């Protein structure tokens, strides 16, 4: 079943293209929209949620266009990124009010269940204005789940969460995905997506750069050439030793140390310690020169 479909969707603001000719289909389970900040993930989520019309193409949710279609929220829950909730309400009031807006038969019971699921019961009677950012995120997710929607859209849901809250939220979303819900979340952090989602849609510069099973895409990333910066007690000897290894493609002596282009990320990182030991060289620094997400995405885009 395809719950969400984007068909040749573009969105531009004046001369600036935010999303460029994206086609994707999203079904049950957890799907991560991965991409650097400003890549267009939020714009795509807003178009799916009907808060932005596409400039070109079509966005459908459960078979209907999402633009000007508030009725779709019977089946859709939305967690916006912006940290703006009714701060004067208690967490319980907020989730129960959302349940009433959905005209649920038992709003108090639905609110209690959603709050329990997000482990917010202890804080539910406090005003949201006293919540930490992580707690606000959780109460927003509770409100988005209160009507038991088939589709849940979350914009950067892990922002501001501490590691424990993050793991718990991942477990909750993972379990909801396994129950057959369509969970779509955006993130610019690779590890979040890796842990949570089997399927990813990589967005770079407004385009769909890669799409599919996370493990396959991750493999593509780890077996690609990597560039490292090394500083040692004897750069020249180290350079000569490294060039004898098949895992190394190129070495350049720079004023800041050695720039090494490794053919294989895994093999190189295992071998470099042994080489320095064998030659009696003291290794002062090893740092990936291109490990930023942007460079990974740039590679994916070129691949």
Partner 1 sequence: MDGLLNGVVMRLTLRATMSRKRALLFALPAVILIGISALLTNTAHSPVWPPEVLGTVGLLVVALTSLLVGGSVLGGEIEDGSIVHLLATPVSRRSVVLSKYVVAVLLTWLLAAVPEYLAGAIAKGAGNRLAIGLLVGALAGALVYNALFVLLTAAFSPSRALAGGLLYVLVWEGLLATLVPGVGLLSVEHYSLGIANSIAHTGALHAGLGTGTAIGMGAAVTALALVLAVIRLSEFSVKGDIA
The Cα 232–Cα 254 span in angstroms is: 12
Residue 181 touching partner 1 (CB under 8 A):
no
| Residue window 122-141: x/- pattern of binding to partner 1, with contact defined by CB under 8 A | ------------------x-
Q: Which is nearer to partner 1, 189 or 289 (CB)?
A: 189
Cβ nearer to partner 1, comparing 94 with 228 = 94
Candidate residues 22, 143, 173, 275; the one interacting with partner 1 per rule CB under 8 A: 143
**In whole angstroms, how far apart are CA 285 and each of 43, 173, 270, 289?**
40, 39, 15, 12
166: contact with partner 1 by CB under 8 A: no
Q: Which two tokens stand for residue 283?
A: 């290794």
Nearer to partner 1, 84 or 254 (CB): 84
Per CB under 8 A, the segment of 74-82, 110-118, 175-183, 249-257 that binds partner 1 is: 74-82
- Residue 20 exposure: Cα atoms within 13 Å on the Cβ side: 12
Among 16, 63, 122, 164, binds partner 1 (CB under 8 A): 16
CB closer to partner 1, 78 vs 230: 78
How many whole angstroms separate alpha carbon 15 and alpha carbon 34?
24
Residue whose CB is less far from partner 1, 156 or 264: 156
Binding to partner 1 by residue 240, rule CB under 8 A?
no
User: Minimal distance in Å, beta carbon 143 to partner 1?
Assistant: 7
Q: Based on CB atoms, which residue is closest to partner 1, 154 or 275?
A: 154
- 204, containing H or E segment: strand 199-204
User: Pick from 89, 229, 281, 301: which binds partner 1 (CB under 8 A)?
Assistant: 89
Per CB under 8 A, the list member of 33, 61, 62, 76 interacting with partner 1 is 76
Please identify which residue in 25, 97, 220, 247 interacts with partner 1, judged by CB under 8 A: 97
Mark the segment that binds partner 1 (CB under 8 A) among 98-106, 221-229, 273-281, 284-292: 98-106
The answer to whether 63 contacts partner 1 (rule: CB under 8 A) is no
- State the minimum distance, in angstroms, from the CB of residue 46 to partner 1: 5
**Residue number with CB closer to partner 1 (159 or 267):** 159
Name the phi and psi angles at 233, rounded to 5: -75, -15
Q: Smallest distance from the beta carbon of 100 to partner 1, in angstroms? A: 5
Least distance (Å) between residue 123 CB and partner 1? 18
Closest residue by Cα to residue 55 from 6, 108, 105: 6
Q: Which residues bind partner 1 (CB under 8 A)?
A: 11, 13, 16-20, 37-47, 49, 51-53, 68, 70-74, 76-78, 80, 82, 84-86, 88-89, 97-98, 100-103, 140, 143-144, 205-206
């Amino acid at each position: 079943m395809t719950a969400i479909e984007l068909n040749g969707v573009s969105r531009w603001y004046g001369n600036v293209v935010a999303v460029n000719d994206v086609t994707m289909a999203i079904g049950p389970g957890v799907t991560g929209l991965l991409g650097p900040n400003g890549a267009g993930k939020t714009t795509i989520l807003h178009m799916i949620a009907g808060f932005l019309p596409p400039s070109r193409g079509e966005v459908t949710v459960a078979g209907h266009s999402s633009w000007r279609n508030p009725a779709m929220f019977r089946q859709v829950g939305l967690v916006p990124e912006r940290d703006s909730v009714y701060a004067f309400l208690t967490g319980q009031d907020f989730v129960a009010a959302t349940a009433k807006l959905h005209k649920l038969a038992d709003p108090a019971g639905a609110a209690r269940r959603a709050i329990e699921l997000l482990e917010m019961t202890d804080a539910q009677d406090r005003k949201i204005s006293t919540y930490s950012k992580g707690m606000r995120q959780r109460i927003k997710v509770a409100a988005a789940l209160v009507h038991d929607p088939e589709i849940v859209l979350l914009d950067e849901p892990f922002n501001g969460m501490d590691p424990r809250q993050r793991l718990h939220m991942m477990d909750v979303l993972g379990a909801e995905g396994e129950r057959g819900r369509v969970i779509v979340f955006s993130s610019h952090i690779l590890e979040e997506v890796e842990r949570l989602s089997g399927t990813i849609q990589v967005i770079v510069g407004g385009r769909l750069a890669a799409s599919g099973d996370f493990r396959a895409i991750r493999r593509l990333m780890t077996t690609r050439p990597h560039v490292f910066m090394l500083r040692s007690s004897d750069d020249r000897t180290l350079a000569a030793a490294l060039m004898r290894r098949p895992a190394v493609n190129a070495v350049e002596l720079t004023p800041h140390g050695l720039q090494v282009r490794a053919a294989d990320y895994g093999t190189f990182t295992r071998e470099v310690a042994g080489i320095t030991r064998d030659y009696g060289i003291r290794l002062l620094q090893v740092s990936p020169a291109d490990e930023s997400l942007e460079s990974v995405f740039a590679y994916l885009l070129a691949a």
